[in-house]
Amino acid sequence: MTLPQLFALDLVAIAFLVFVLYFPRHRRRDMVVALLGINVGVLGVTQGLSSAGVSAGLGLGLFGVLSIIRLRSTEMDQSEVAYYFAALTLGLLGGFVVDPAWLSAALMVAIVAAVAVGDHPRLFAGYRHQVVTLDRAVADEAAAREQLSTLLGARVHRLTIRRVDLVQDTTVVDVRYQLGRDPAAGPPTSAAAAAGPTVPPTPALDPAGPR
C-alpha cells in the first residue's frame, strides 16, 4: 500500500471516528479539535521521521510523550482516553509503510471497530459509576450498600468506602451499580394505584321502602 493510500485511509478513519462515533455520542467540541489535530500531527511527524530514516523506537517515544502531555493537561473520561489513543494509533499507522501491505488497513479497521463496539450506548447501558457522599458516617459496607441501593434506586454491584468523617458525619463511597432493580416489574406505581381501583360507595337504603 502506497503512502497516499495510507494517508487517505487515515483521514477516512479519523473522520469516521470523530464525526460518526465520538461527537454524536459525547458532544464535546474541544475534543473534536484535539482528536483531529493529534491524528494529523502524529501522521505528519511519523512520515517525517520515516523519510529521515529514524528508527521506529523514536516514533514510539513520541507516542508516549504526547500521551503523557495530553493526559496530564486535562481530565478525560476513560472512554475519551480510548478515543484519544485510537486517534494517536491511527496517525502512527498511517505514517509507516509496513509489510504485508494490507496490515495497516486491517489494524485501522480493527481499532475503529473496537472503539465503536466498546463505546456503543446499548452496551451495558444500565451500568453507572459514581462517587457518592452520604450524609452520615457509615463504616459498615453492608449498611452502606443498603442505603445506596435505596438512594439510587438501583442494584449495587460493588462499593468501596473511601473516607469516613466522624467529625462532619459524612462518608465518601465509590459505587458501581445497575439501574432498575427488577426491569420486569415495570415502573413504580403511585400509592393510589397500588391501593387498587376505587369502588364507589353503596347508597344507603330507605327503611320506609320505595315511595
Residues 8, 69: one domain? yes
* Ranges of residues in the chain whose predicted pLDDT is under 50: 181-199, 211
Domain membership of residue 30 (yes or no) is: yes
How confident is the model at residue 49, as a pLDDT? 74
Domain membership of residue 197 (yes or no) is: no
**Total count of domains within the chain:** 2
Write down the pTM of the prediction. Answer: 0.71
DSSP the chain: --HHHHHHHHHHHHHIIIIIIIHHHH--HHHHHHHHHHHHHHHHHHHHHHHTT--HHHHHHHHHHHHHHHHHHS---HHHHHHHHHHHHHHHHHH---SSTHHHHHHHHHHHHHHHHHT-TTTTTTEEEEEEEESS----HHHHHHHHHHHHTEEEEEEEEEEEETTTTEEEEEEEEEE-S-GGG-SPPPHHHHT-PPPPPPPPPPTT---
Domain membership of residue 211 (yes or no) is: no
Residues 112, 133: one domain? no
How confident is the model at residue 41, as a pLDDT? 87
Domain membership of residue 190 (yes or no) is: no
How confident is the model at residue 25, as a pLDDT? 94
Domain membership of residue 49 (yes or no) is: yes
Domain that holds residue 72: 3-118
